[in-house]
Amino acid sequence: MRIALVSDAWTPQVNGVVRTLQTTVAMLRARGHQVATITPDGFRTVACPTYPEIRLALGCGRAVAERLDRTAPDAVHIATEGSLGWAARRWCLASGMPFTTSFHTHFPDYVAMRTGLPARWFWPILQRFHRPAHAIMVATETLAGELAAHGLTQTRRWSRGVDLSLFSPGNAPHPAISGLPGPIQLYVGRVACEKNIEAFLATSVPGTKVVVGDGPARAMLERRFPDATFLGALHGAELASVYAGADIFVFPSRTDTFGLVMIEALASGVPVAAFPVHGPMDVIGGLGRGPAGCAGAQIGALRDDLAAAITAALGIDRAACAAEGRRYSWDACTDQFLGALATPARRLDRAA
């Protein structure tokens, strides 16, 4: 099958959305599908205001249409609501081509944080973007419910996966943290205001706080919290070794829709501490016993007091965490992605 995947989020960005999309593309190609990616590289771009890592393509409408015409795709998936996404949406609507979208980020909350304007002002933009989609792919049932409350009911589940050959409790700890005073409390992700990292760094739990990642808030946080260890962005085996050397993984975000880093931590045998909000509740469960609070083994702790969550999660059985992490398969995620696409057979079924 010929699949066109359109995304404004792509390398050199380092985040869960990009990793999910790139892994999915690799998995699809390994299965024999032809995947054409339409991404900011190859276009004239400008930095997204307040988020310079994102490059927004300028005047891309005709070029996107030409690429889609050449590809003649059997299915089109539009992953993001940026300029490339809007251009691909226009082409699909003009040519009568059904398409799917995905909802990765609480865009209204992020923009509200950066502008001081109410998040509700930005929901109409997202509603307009996603409403014509054949299906909107979401990582969790909670997110599906949230979109339904805004009139977007055509959601399909598209979960996330972990490279279990890389993230494992058996990895040796990274030398940069192996000699630090414990317990090692780890954050991995973009270092930006919407990630709420300050709430983690301001806790008073004894031990060492380690931040892996980069972003516009890093310099400010390094100045404010000199006792924390900032390692910058790490990848592959280096990243896996940092997870393996941590005693607790702290996920302070209140706005993420899933949090790929949480399941990487679990697969590495590391319990998770977080706020009781969407994202952590979907992955860790309200009782810290797996998704939707199912009656499994303890894998983390969610508290309104983040320090209390960290303290409660320390000492949780690492084997139970690793067992939960092994449930997340990229093969299963790819099956979900293919199952949600608006393929020719499904379009004919709907027309009939």
Fold of the domain built from segment(s) 2-161+330-351: Rossmann fold (3.40.50)
In degrees rounded to 5, what are phi and psi of residue 291?
Answer: -55, 135
- What pLDDT, on the 0 to 100 scale, is given for residue 350? 47
pLDDT in tens, 22-62: 999 999 999 999 999 999 987 888 877 666 667 778 889 99
- Average of pLDDT values for 317-344? 93
pLDDT of residue 291: 63
**Domain extents in the chain:** 2-161+330-351, 175-325
The predicted pLDDT at position 141 comes to 87
- In tens, the pLDDT along 65-96 reads 999 999 999 999 999 998 999 999 999 999 99
pLDDT at 96: 94
Average pLDDT in the 182-193 region?
A: 95
CATH superfamily membership of 175-325: Glycogen Phosphorylase B; (3.40.50.2000)
* Position with higher pLDDT, 295 vs 253: 253
pLDDT digits (tens, 9 = 90+) for 207-230: 999 999 999 999 999 999 999 999
Judge if 2-161+330-351 and 175-325 fold alike in CATH terms.
Answer: yes
Asked whether residue 161 carries a pLDDT value surpassing 70, the answer given is: yes
pTM of the predicted protein model: 0.83
